[in-house]
């Protein structure tokens, strides 16, 4: 029976390799505002990428790359840490913050110190941020919590669809604090709630909390490729990685004003906010980012070990 399973895996691997050879590399993209400097130059045709582009939220891209459905993608850093045997960082590309991340936010009806034993709603779109919140609460606030991934349509829909769901009321919050006293949101969903200037709600930036307690940047996502694809088609991967770096460079310079305008089309916040937002983010996997990721990995292992003993 085990031999049959291995045969199926070998056939699937051979099929994926032949498909890649006959067609283009499959490139995953996150359709979030924080990825606009990478994505917009490609979308506008300023940079041509030799790949089939597939859009999804980070958690879905994690699943797809591990199932060999895509070849390169910005995945959750936590997913990479769990699958180093299958995935390889490429191009020194990441999404990190050395302090404020601005779109990885915990919305709470009480101060964070008062959340002990509380149930907290987690993002359906995230792996890293969900784990980061668990690490922060346990390691630095000594809190014990129950967690639930929220999958209600109002929290999964893109911002424009959510706005339509609320009858066009841009100040309507879909967070139900009667079900959970706190919610973690990431990406455009976090920015949309932040834009509403909610009253009597405490908002915590997880990038800021990580920097406060560790002194290091937090790496939320990183561009990786499947190792088998890199080994079989190194030239193809190198070309695409170079194109991604080219796109990043253009998106943060000559096309930056268009990046900000596109961000405002997605979630309407001031021009000044978005200019600062993109300055807070780092897209380079620097030595300091590597130190931050290594420390995050240590805390994840420690937390997983504790939970396995409960």
User: SS3 for the chain, per residue?
Assistant: CHHHHHHHHHHHHHHHHHHHHHCCEEEEECCCHHHHHHHHHHHCCCCCCCEEEEECCHHHHHHHHHCCCCCEEEEEHHHHHHCCCCEEEEEEEEEEECCCCCCEEEEECCCHHHCCCCEEEECCCCCHHHHHHHHHHHHHCCCCCEEEECCCHHHHCCHHHHHHHCCCCCCCCCCCCCCCCEEEEEHHHHHHHHCCCCCCCEEEEHHHHHHHHHCCCEEEEEEEEEHHHHHHCHHHHHHHHHHHHHHHHHHCCCCHHHHHHHHHHHCCCCHHHHHHHHHHEEEECCHHHHHHHHHHHHHHHHHHHHHHHC
For 191-210, give one letter per residue: b (16+ CB within 10 A) or e.
Answer: bbbbbeeeeebeebbbbbbb
d(CA 163, CA 283): 30
Mean pLDDT score across all residues of the chain: 86
Are 2-96+218-268+281-299 and 104-215 the same fold in CATH?
A: yes
- Residue 304: the pLDDT is 83
Cα 283 to Cα 5, 117, 189, 222, 236: the distances in Å are 40, 36, 21, 9, 22
Give the CATH architecture of domain 104-215.
Answer: 3-Layer(aba) Sandwich (3.40)
Classify strands 202-205 and 51-55 as parallel, antiparallel or unpaired. unpaired
Q: Looking at residue 57, what is its pLDDT?
A: 86
pLDDT per residue as tens digits for the range 10-49: 544 554 444 444 458 999 999 899 999 999 999 999 999 9
Bridge-partner residues for 146, per DSSP? 119
pLDDT of residue 8: 54
pLDDT tens per residue, range 95-105: 999 999 999 99
pLDDT band at 82 (very low <50, low <70, confident <90, very high): very high
Residue 6 has pLDDT above 50, yes or no: yes
Q: Degrees (nearest 5) of the Cα angle 21, 27, 28?
A: 145
Confidence of residue 64 (pLDDT cuts 50, 70, 90): very high
- Residue whose structure tokens are 């890199």: 230
Can you give the pLDDT at residue 179?
80
Classify domain 2-96+218-268+281-299 by CATH architecture: 3-Layer(aba) Sandwich (3.40)
Give me the residue spans of the domains in the chain: 2-96+218-268+281-299, 104-215
Candidate ranges 7-11, 66-70, 124-128, 165-169; pick with highest mean pLDDT: 66-70
pLDDT of 307 reads 47
Over residues 265-281, mean pLDDT: 94
* Number of Cβ within a 10 Å radius of residue 160: 13
- At residue 46, φ and ψ (nearest 5 deg) are -70, -30
For the cut 70, the answer to whether the pLDDT of residue 310 exceeds it is: no
Instruction: Express each pLDDT in 148-184 by its tens digit.
Output: 888 765 555 555 555 554 455 444 456 777 788 999 9
């Amino acid at each position: 029976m085990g031999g049959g399973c291995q045969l199926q895996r070998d056939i699937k691997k051979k099929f994926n390799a032949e498909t890649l050879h006959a067609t283009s590399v499959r490139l995953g993209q996150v359709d979030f505002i924080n990825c606009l400097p990478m994505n917009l130059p490609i979308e506008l045709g300023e940079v041509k990428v030799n790949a089939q582009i597939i859009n999804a939220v980070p958690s879905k891209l994690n699943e797809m790359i591990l199932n060999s459905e895509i070849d390169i993608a910005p995945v959750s850093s936590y997913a990479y840490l769990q699958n180093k045997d299958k995935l390889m960082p490429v191009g020194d590309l990441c999404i990190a913050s050395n302090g404020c991340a601005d779109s990885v936010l915990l919305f709470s009806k009480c101060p964070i110190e008062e959340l002990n034993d509380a149930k907290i709603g987690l993002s359906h779109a995230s792996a890293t941020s969900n784990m980061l919140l668990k690490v922060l609460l346990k390691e630095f606030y000594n809190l014990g919590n129950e967690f639930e991934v929220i999958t209600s349509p109002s929290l999964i829909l893109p911002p424009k669809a959510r706005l339509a769901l609320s009858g066009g009321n841009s100040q309507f919050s879909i967070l139900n604090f009667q079900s959970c006293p706190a919610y973690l949101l990431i990406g455009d969903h976090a920015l949309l709630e932040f834009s509403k200037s909610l009253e009597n709600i405490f908002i915590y930036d997880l990038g800021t909390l990580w920097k406060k307690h560790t002194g290091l940047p937090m790496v939320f996502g990183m561009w990786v490729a499947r190792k088998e694809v890199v080994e079989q088609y190194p030239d193809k991967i190198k070309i695409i990685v170079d194109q991604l770096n080219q796109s990043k460079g253009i998106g943060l310079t000559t096309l930056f004003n268009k990046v900000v305008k596109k961000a405002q089309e997605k979630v309407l916040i001031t021009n000044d906010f978005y200019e600062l937002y993109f300055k807070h983010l780092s897209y380079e996997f620097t030595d300091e980012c590597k130190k931050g990721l290594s420390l995050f990995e240590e805390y994840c292992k420690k937390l997983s070990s504790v939970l396995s003993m409960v």
